[in-house]
Amino acid sequence: MSGTDDHDHEGHEQSTSMASRVGELVAKLEAKGILSEAELDAAVEGFLLGTQRAGGPALVARAWVDPAFRARVLADANGALDEIGVDMTHWVRVKLRAVENTERVHNVIVCTLCSCYPVSLLGPSPSWYKSLAYRARVVREPRAVLAEFGLTLDPSIDVRVWDSTAELRYVVLPRRPEGTEAMAEPELAALVTRDALIGTAVCRAGAAGSRDP
């Protein structure tokens, strides 16, 4: 494993042979007393629990209420995550970059080479994010793709697509919806959906508790 945040870029097609190779490796490690099945299960479970923390909404909510924190998120997202106690490290520390939606620019994240994704911030990635259709089309006709997600952008807004081809991971810092001025951080965090953090949706007041499909 080269230890990227979610997926390696190599060999999604070889998952069957990969599974059997992993099985053999685990058997050898067990036979030599290096690792037990129970330890392995605990590690996997810990990883999956970690991904459910979904640190992304907490990060965004803090950035919305605290301009100085927002500036730190944009300058050094990893440092900002440390401040709110979100750990992006699984095997190695992944460098995160937050990209900010504004009145002028709407950001969208993709990995055209496979499906790299900041899993510790967003939870497990949706299947459409890994689909060839999304990966091929969003770098060519993002407005059309976003419209299919139910998001029609004003023509005056520039669309900016970030293809995460290397060891950096991206997350969108969505715009704070109007009418949320009185809300506290936990309430605001509930408005931040997974899709808004990928850029295929925007945050809306009154969306609290709604789930991404």
Q: Report, as residue numbers or ranges, the catalytic residues.
A: 111, 114-116
Among positions 97-126, residues that touch other proteins (CB under 8 A) are 112-113
In this structure, the chain runs to a length of 213
> 10 Å Cβ neighbour count for 82?
12
Residue 143 is a binding residue for other proteins (CB under 8 A): yes
151 is a site residue for other proteins (CB under 8 A):
no
Sequence-separated (6 or more) residues with CB below 8 Å from residue 22: none
Q: How far is the CB of 196 from other proteins (least distance, A)?
A: 19
Comparing CB distances to other proteins, the nearer of 65 and 112 is: 112
Q: Is 134 in the site for other proteins (CB under 8 A)?
A: no
Q: How far apart are CA 13 and CA 20, in angstroms?
A: 14
> Which span sits near other proteins by CB under 8 A: 17-25, 45-53, 56-64, 142-150?
142-150
CB of 169 to other proteins, least distance (A): 10
Strands 158-163 and 105-110: parallel
Distances (CA, A) of 95 to 70, 120, 199: 17, 12, 19
Of these, 7, 9, 72, 175, which contacts other proteins (CB under 8 A)? 9
What single-letter amino acid sits at 186? Answer: P
Positions 160 through 179 that interact with other proteins (CB under 8 A): 160-168
Which listed range, 30-38, 63-71, 72-80, 138-146, lies at the site for other proteins (CB under 8 A)?
138-146
Helix and strand element counts for the chain (H, E): 11, 4
DSSP 107-152: EEEE-SSS----HHHH-SPPHHHHSHHHHHHTTT-HHHHHHHTT-P
Q: Is 53 in the site for other proteins (CB under 8 A)?
A: no
> Rule CB under 8 A: is residue 159 a binding residue for other proteins?
yes
Q: Which is nearer to other proteins, 87 or 158 (CB)?
A: 158
Question: CB under 8 A: which stretch of 13-21, 75-83, 153-161, 195-203 binds other proteins?
Answer: 153-161
Residue 145, φ and ψ in degrees, nearest 5: -65, -45
Residues within the interface to other proteins (CB under 8 A): 2, 9-10, 95, 112-113, 139-144, 158-168
